[in-house]
Structure 1
């Protein structure tokens, strides 16, 4: 699943002013002015180094630190024989006290694997690692040594200029030791999206870190030399640990590729089914939504889960699962976004106009801090009832895979019922057998039942629907998962019509 993430704030007269990105018009021309960019829009922004340079400017402009030159280097190592590697970097980040003239703590990298081998790679690496530190400890300088800290795993996403994604997976914990000490964050950067698999890798890294930092290297080297498994497949890594001998570590990739980065359990722990439908409705219509939580793991898991509910559509706007404190101004952007913000920063959100702010903390009396007010009426009542009935099919003690299956089926069914008939309104034109044109007017007239039409009219105006249709016009895939669900739905409806059941539905 790809997220086109844009967050642009121009600096004028010492203040940040949000600007509407031109990509909303399907074109982009970015002026060469000082700016903050978090996760670049596909094919429209400057090179990835600009992003990290901007982050560096934001963090260090008061220190007069020289910015590293732009780099056109490839990733530290490329795919082997066309197979993607497990990861690009593993770094261990800790927080260290600043010099006596500065207050607070700042993140520092204490371990990195692998090291860059060329000058161009080192230049790119320097910028990338500064961004990694920023997202591993988004709270900024507000740290102090701790004696207790609950381990948490979270993730963030970086999108490069060519549309390729880099996923950052982090596990933050208190290292082995006595007395008060700063936490550490293990961070893996990979082009592959599979949260559950990388969580297991962190288990192995953490186990070796408790013995010695040197024990991390052989395991990660073995992992680096292993091809990433295909969906549903398992790879086995051999790793030696003193006093334990050689261990065989099995890593299995989920079957459903769009659910590899998703765990719906956290979403349903934080919100009721009815509240999830309201958040889903606001997301489908591409509104500005902020999620508030204390735990970084909760923020990243819930935001990725919300984005996954949109399948087969993809969120096309700003998506930052954990917003670093120094970049909090991005919430002022007037364009649609999904943002995750830690609860201790809530009082900094002054402008609440046209925002849906969702409180994910369990003890909160109301889950909606601010709202527009129409979220519970955006989806037609009949469709809401059917969605709630489908969600009730999940078991109380369901596994992650069972939960993902039930939830994804419910929301895919929703899109099949509302817009699945789009396949009948892609018409060939001229002698070109490949190209098709979407007949929007006839599509809207064919929406049944009529109570769904207002919702569908709003949905077809979104960028996610527009880009989905553009892809279908170019590459109509009858074998795709969504198309198979449409065929199954129509076959069931035909059976019901033959038996005198459902009437007035497009089949």
Structure 2
């Protein structure tokens, strides 16, 4: 388990591909790619299938995205552009889930593919490929060949929630689906159901699946995840474990409904949902009431209003994890499952006991503990909201916590001064980011309620083996030879010639508080001293 996003990404994109459309019995195939050094065989085999997942109407330019999952459970995002005036699809592969950035990049690439020599396209791709990834909140500017315009790549700010209308996925989801059905899908995701989205439009399909996944932040879906299902993978719909899959309407019609079993189906074209479960009714009702109230006021939902409404629901459900942290000098911070349930109102406890079994919750807790025990801490939007939520009540354990942290600071102050001087630039930047973010929430952090519990090792976080499920289609890493597109004697590439022939032949193809950082860091170093690490 863990985050599905890669860390320390060095390049904006991994590979660009132009995919030739299927012709009669011939499947889609890669017409050209950049860079030529990209040689992941499994990805290269999969890209054509996901670019042309089924027969679909292509009346207007449309963008959609797919996801490939590696054997280490990390996601590679594929961003596609289809233009009804062409017979090829354009794809950019990246480890970064920046939909708006890559859709804009694809539009620039499309304007360059008509160049006969292709040199402008390759030069532009090289400039993007070698420019590096801007730090959060910053941007880079790449000039377009033979143009006064530039491609501007803006790196999202850290911990920024998706907003309307800036986030295309969330905007599409909110436009297509009413708030009650959004809440039903949210609840079914918290119960880790088998969930299918359907739509005739690939752009709407992938947008809705990607958006609903973003609305369970800071949790991350840990099971089968396929925003757009290729027809060749239709058997995934029969998998007996949790999944979140976007299925083109015509593809789902090929599967007998009786074979699907218990599954939640959301028709994104008609805003209709079918479910054999009562998941929304089974959530704690005060959480549901607050969420309904937040989503009812449409005037507050522009910007990050929708994202924040669902985030606050998750805070109300899970912020109690703070009260279940066990803080013992010289030991790692751990999570006490029983304390987590018992600290919450009795009306919430039945659901929270079920939540302990969920992989998305276990991933969330493991991520929080890893950040705390590393001494780096965190200041994401979840913790900001949790601070505000926790500040509304007092904690009888706060004084004990302060005594612990005071001792740790006193004993470790000289060590921390030394670490600060020697920290590498990456660590300094991370700490600065946390501190800067914390300034904006100084008042909230003063009210942070960390509740230490006596150490009961038998109930500390050592989760039983979770219900397992395979990831989305997994990809091994193998090399494959690939050559550059050859050029004809007149300088026109074979790719360009093929594109023209294909068009003629196929025109009818239809921060958190500083004290906890000191405590965690001190514990870590004390442990090293004791064990000689």
> C-alpha separation between the residues in 1 aligned to 2:390 and 2:63?
42
Deviation at 1:132, TM superposition (A): 0.6
> C-alpha separation between the residues in 2 aligned to 1:266 and 1:309?
13
Where in structure 2 are the equivalents of 1:38-53 lying within 5 Å? none
Cα pair 2:90 2:106 within 8 Å, conserved: yes
Alignment of 1:154 with 2:59, yes or no, is: no
Deviation at 1:205, TM superposition (A): 0.9
**Selected match of 1:411 from 303, 310, 328:** 310
Deviation readout 1:442-500 (Å, 9 max, x if unpaired): 2212212x322222222222111122223333432643322232112222457xxxxxx
Q: Please state which structure has a larger fraction of its residues in helix.
A: 2
SS at match of 2:391: helix
- CA RMSD between the two structures: 2.9
SS at match of 1:127: helix
Structure 1 residues 233 and 473: CA distance shift in structure 2, 3 A: closer
Q: Which residue of 2 aligns with 1:249?
A: 151
> C-alpha separation between the residues in 2 aligned to 1:114 and 1:298?
30
Q: Which residue of 2 aligns with 1:335?
A: 241
Where in structure 2 are the equivalents of 1:131-146 lying within 5 Å? 131-139=46-54, 142=55
**Selected match of 1:173 from 83, 104, 110:** 83
Q: Which residue of 1 aligns with 2:433?
A: none
Q: Which residue of 1 aligns with 2:29?
A: 108
Deviation at 1:259, TM superposition (A): 5.0
Deviation readout 1:144-163 (Å, 9 max, x if unpaired): xx9x6222111112232334
Alignment of 1:356 with 2:258, yes or no, is: no
Structure 1 residues 214 and 454: CA distance shift in structure 2, 3 A: same
Q: Which structure exhibits the higher relative contact order, with contacts defined as CA atoms closer than 8 Å and separated by 6 or more residues? A: 2
Cα pair 2:170 2:208 within 8 Å, conserved: yes
Where in structure 2 are the equivalents of 1:181-200 lying within 5 Å? 183-200=87-104
Q: Which residue of 1 aligns with 2:275?
A: 371
Alignment of 1:320 with 2:320, yes or no, is: no
Q: Please state which structure has a larger fraction of its residues in strand.
A: 1
**Selected match of 1:225 from 113, 116, 130:** 130
Number of equivalent positions:
386
**Structure of higher CA gyration radius:** 2
Deviation at 1:406, TM superposition (A): 1.1
Deviation at 1:407, TM superposition (A): 1.7
SS at match of 1:134: helix
Deviation at 1:386, TM superposition (A): 1.1
Deviation at 1:96, TM superposition (A): 4.5
**Residue ranges of structure 1 left out of the alignment (5+ in a row):** 6-41, 43-78, 98-102, 177-182, 495-504
> C-alpha separation between the residues in 1 aligned to 2:168 and 2:126?
27
Deviation at 1:164, TM superposition (A): 3.7
Cα pair 2:237 2:260 within 8 Å, conserved: no
Cα pair 1:232 1:252 within 8 Å, conserved: yes
Q: Which residue of 1 aligns with 2:349?
A: 453
Q: Which residue of 2 aligns with 1:385?
A: 289
Deviation readout 1:317-365 (Å, 9 max, x if unpaired): 1101111101100111111100110001222232232110111113x6x
